[in-house]
Amino acid sequence: MLINCVVYQNGTKVADIPVDRISEYISRPDAFVWVALQDATPQELDEMQHEFGLHPLAVEDAHHGHQRPKIEEYGASLFSVLHLVEADVQEPGKLNVGEVNVFTGSNYVLSVRNRSKKGFLGVRERCEREPQLLRNGSGFVLYALMDAVVDRYFPIIDDFETELDTIEQDIFTKGTARSNIERLYELKGRVVVLKHAVAPLLEAASKLYGGRAPHLCAGVQDYFRDVVDHLSRINALIDNMRDTIGTAIQVNLSMVTIEESEVTKRLAAWASIFAVCTAFAGIWGMNFEAMPELKWRYGYLMALTLIVLACSLLYWRFRRARWL
């Protein structure tokens, strides 16, 4: 689906144009066309390939989708794949992973957004409010799109940290060990999803500034360096969070072991108490005729009293040792 197709010249919006007039405008000096598609059909991509002269390998990747984040050079053009990681509104605790493919040339920008509900209209408005930067052409638009995608990672990181803090507070609450481990592993899975979006993009974006940066990024290298700095921060936060989750899992397993040992001690203490009862009852239950106190009137009461006293003494000792 076509979202918009706009031509810009010298950093200023000229007009919204139909797709069949793209070739007419991209030949103008200091002008470029910015097209945005959502869940594009193969026919739409083929049409854009014809209008912009896109590289067939890049178009093939866009057709297939589900690509690893990357930035590839095809001559004087760039093909970028960015992952759109969004929290699922209907299922809390789940992440939806969309994708935006960005074709960038000296006189065009084509963004194809797939499996994502959040658009980039705010990015277009931001660019149009900064015509002095938009004069840098398609390179600045590529930066603005990347910056918007990366900025969306920060709230997700914040949510992860809040959830991790909550789980850590519950680790020392008795009876929550199993649920804590399940929550930690679920959180770890979501952190890995974000890691897969950030780490490859960090490596690829590092090529957009410096001595061998692509020509269309020449005027905005400082801005791409800022994007790389944000990605580096996010990547470091993810690594720290993964380490913290691993530590929390180990602590939680230790708490499980401690709780199990407490249960074992209680069972051992009660077993010892009942063993005393069993021992006394077994001795007095032997069928010998010449047993002392066998025909004594108070023998039964004495036996019960002795059993109770012995069990009470053991119970007191175990309570003092905090086994009960």
What CATH number is associated with residue 54? 3.30.460.20
N residues, the chain: 324
Would 210 be classed as within a structural domain? no
The residues, ordered by sequence, that sit 6+ positions from 157 with a Cβ below 8 Å of its Cβ are 194, 234, 237, 238, 241
User: Mean pLDDT of residues grouped by 10 in the chain (324 residues)?
Assistant: 90 90 85 92 92 92 90 92 88 87 93 88 90 90 94 93 90 82 91 95 89 82 93 95 91 80 81 85 73 73 84 85 77
Q: Could you give the C-alpha distances from 188 to 65, 138, 181, 202, 246, in angstroms and in order?
A: 25, 37, 10, 20, 9
Structural domain including 15 reads 1-130
Would 143 be classed as within a structural domain? no
Would 241 be classed as within a structural domain? no
- The sign one gets for the Cα dihedral 123, 129, 130, 131 is positive
Picking from 115, 130, 145, the residue at the C-terminal end of a domain is 130
Identify the pLDDT of residue 288: 65
Picking from 93, 112, 130, the residue at the C-terminal end of a domain is 130
Identify the pLDDT of residue 188: 93
- What is the distance between the alpha carbons of residues 67 and 319, in angstroms, rounded to a whole number? 62
Would 158 be classed as within a structural domain? no
Total count of domains within the chain? 2
Identify the pLDDT of residue 301: 81
Q: What's the pTM value of the predicted model, to 2 decimals?
A: 0.81
Would 217 be classed as within a structural domain? no
The enclosing domain of 315 has a CATH number of 1.20.58.340
Identify the pLDDT of residue 289: 67
- What is the distance between the alpha carbons of residues 194 and 188, in angstroms, rounded to a whole number? 10
Identify the pLDDT of residue 145: 95
Helix (H) or strand (E) holding 254: helix 221-284
Picking from 130, 147, 170, the residue at the C-terminal end of a domain is 130
The residues, ordered by sequence, that sit 6+ positions from 16 with a Cβ below 8 Å of its Cβ are 4, 5, 6
